[in-house]
Amino acid sequence: MNENKLDKGDTQFAEYERIFRLLCEAVNESPSIKDYSEYHQSPAYFYRYWTINNEDDWQKSLTYRGNMGNNAFIDVYKYEDSRDVILLIQHSQTKFASWLEIPLFSVARLLFLTAKIEINKPELKRIFDLNSDQEKEEAIDNAVKAVLKRLFWALPRLILQATDRAIHDSILSYIKTDLERVYSLHWKKMELSRNHEYLPHDILNWLNGQIKAVEDWRQRFIGNIREIPEPELSELPQRYKELSAAYKIAKKEHGQKKEKYLAAENRRTLRDWREQWKKEFVYYPELYPDCLMLLCDEEIIKPHDIAFQHLSFDWGYSPDHIRRIIKEQKAIAKGQGKKSGSSK
């Protein structure tokens, strides 16, 4: 679709406007996505030292990279214009940084056209109880936005997996296609077995661990894994307690910062504050941006409810189901405590 050639009365133009509206709404409802205007003051910018010419920024870069240690982090930004929204993702590790730019309109249009085709299949009306054209159109809009928001949640994690997998497979490729061929005769003279292989197990095992952790998350994300393994299952009540305390502290600080921000200038609105609050997320690295954003609705949702939502993102269950699991685990622990006490 070439939006530059569309007439405003054209049905294609109306469709373009609708898709672009859904895309912008999905992006704006995803608090983990920061505006690109914030990039040049972020740790991600200072990590890319090869792009820095300013001496003061170079010194900041040295500090940031020194404090980073062996940690890896993902930063997600958006750049908007009148025709598209570009998703900008930087994955930073001690040894490298990868940068992706993803134009999102084409993705949103693909999802919209797919939903439109699917929703008009005869069996869909019965399966999803869609009885009017309005219900169909609402279902299309809801599906497009929901999938886009999940895409924004999944992309950073799966980029980590793809990067680690590429490093892992490149090491194997070098050994299997180069080293073994070059040294096969030498190993034969050494009378090593025909099945002898050399592998740097430490780095490969470490990379496999990273890959597996993300793959486990991916399987939960798509609904294939439903069980919570041990020891995480029995530790879930304690994890919930810790998260509740962390979000309680975040809520208190949110209230203090909000009051100070709004009092500093009369023209500032609650909408302005929501944008400012996103910039504060850097001070809560262990808490999820989507959950921190819920604090803006502080009269409606409580810290313990946000902790359930946090765990819901971790394990792929609804917050209500997480609540039930924690209740069950508390009962099990209490029963085990009574048995232990009676056996003494």
Question: 74-122: per-residue pLDDT in tens?
Answer: 788 899 988 899 999 888 776 667 788 899 999 999 999 999 998 888 8
Backbone angles phi, psi at 267, to 5 degrees: -80, -10
Rounded-to-integer distance, Cα 256 and Cα 252, Å: 6
With CA atoms as reference, report the closest residue to 75 among 42, 37, 40, 27: 42
Backbone Cα Rg of the chain = 25
Rounded-to-integer distance, Cα 93 and Cα 266, Å: 42
Q: Which residue has the tokens 């909000």?
A: 258
Give 234's pLDDT tier (boundaries 50, 70, 90): very high
CA triple 281-71-87, angle to 5 deg:
55
Region 331-337: mean pLDDT is 80
Q: Over the stretch 32-80, which tens digit does the pLDDT of each residue have?
A: 788 888 888 777 787 777 778 778 777 777 777 676 666 667 788 899 9
Q: What number of CA atoms fall less than 13 Å from residue 80's CA on the CB side?
A: 12
Q: Over the stretch 239-295, which tens digit does the pLDDT of each residue have?
A: 999 999 999 999 999 999 999 998 888 788 888 888 888 888 878 888 988 888 888
Per-chain mean pLDDT for the chain: 83
In DSSP notation, 151-210 reads HHHHHHHHHHHHHHHHHHHHHHHHIIIIIHHHHHHHHHHTT--TT-----HHHHHHHHHH
On the 0-12 / 13-18 / 19+ scale of CB atoms within 10 A, 49 is middle
Enter the tokens of residue 81: 């214009």
Task: Say whether pLDDT at 230 is over 70.
Answer: yes
Report the predicted TM-score, pTM, of the whole model to 2 decimal places: 0.68
Cis status of the peptide bond prior to 231, with omega within 30 of 0: yes
> Do residues 149 and 30 make contact, with C-beta atoms less than 8 angstroms apart?
yes
In DSSP notation, 102-150 reads EE-HHHHHHHHHHHHHHHTSHHHHHHTT--SHHHHHHHHHHHHHHHHHH
